[in-house]
């Protein structure tokens, strides 16, 4: 059995949580660039993960505060599905990954960091994208700064028609 380790995520896990839901507050903050929001649709939005598993790790969330995909309206579900496919298409164009991890983490046991507000993870993957650094030095090496990734992806998301 192969194991994937992500010890750099401990910073996120151990940080003091404010209690606010980022998926509720950040889209309303009026600071999309600062908050790494790439796209706002009528029912959901796309945001970069600031504690990414890999460069280009994106999340799609409905605006409504929902804890399970079964509570999504048909319209929300359709928009999230369409945006998920668009994210994969854009990441393929902009970052040339060799694969993807895509999915929801629901509930604390399912790995959800924000268990009360569902969101889809789109994680681009490359063969060899894990190395010895997390194991030996408790460090994850990202080959590109978060801001640089945002600036590369944003023009692609600005082309999405609503």
pLDDT in tens, 52-82: 888 999 999 999 999 999 999 999 999 999 9
Residue 6 has pLDDT above 50, yes or no: yes
Work out the pLDDT band at 29, boundaries 50, 70, 90.
very high
| Selected residue with higher pLDDT from 25 and 111 | 25
CATH code at 33-157: 3.30.428.10
Given a cut of 70, whether residue 160 has pLDDT beyond it is yes
Per-position DSSP letters for 30-93, written without gaps between them: S-TTTTTEEEE-SSEEEEE-SS-SSTT-EEEEESS--SSGGGS-HHHHHHHHHHHHHHHHHHHH
pTM: 0.80
Name the more confident of 115 and 32. Answer: 32
- pLDDT of 152 reads 92
pLDDT band for position 44 (50/70/90)? Answer: very high
Catalytic residues: 119
pLDDT at 136 over 50: no
87-111 pLDDT, tens per residue? 999 999 999 999 999 999 888 888 7
Non-local CB neighbours of 153 within 8 Å, separated by 6+ positions:
38, 48, 56, 58, 90, 91, 94
Residue ranges of domains in the chain:
33-157
Mean pLDDT for the stretch of residues 138-154? 77
- What integer pLDDT is reported at residue 57 of this predicted model? 94
């Amino acid at each position: 059995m192969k194991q994937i380790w992500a010890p750099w995520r401990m910073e996120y896990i151990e940080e003091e949580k404010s209690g606010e839901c980022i998926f509720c507050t950040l889209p309303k903050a009026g600071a999309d660039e600062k908050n790494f929001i790439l796209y706002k649709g009528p029912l959901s939005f796309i945001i970069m993960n600031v504690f990414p598993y890999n460069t280009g790790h994106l999340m799609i969330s409905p605006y409504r505060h929902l804890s399970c995909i079964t509570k999504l309206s048909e319209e929300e579900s359709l928009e999230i599905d369409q945006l998920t496919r668009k994210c994969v298409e854009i990441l393929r164009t902009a970052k040339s990954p060799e694969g993807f991890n895509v999915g929801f983490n629901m509930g604390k046991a399912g790995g959800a960091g924000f268990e009360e507000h569902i969101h889809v993870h789109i994680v681009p993957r490359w063969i060899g994208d894990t190395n010895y650094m997390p194991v030996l030095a408790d460090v994850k090496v990202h080959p590109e700064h978060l801001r640089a990734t945002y600036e590369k992806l944003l023009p692609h998301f600005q082309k999405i028609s609503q």
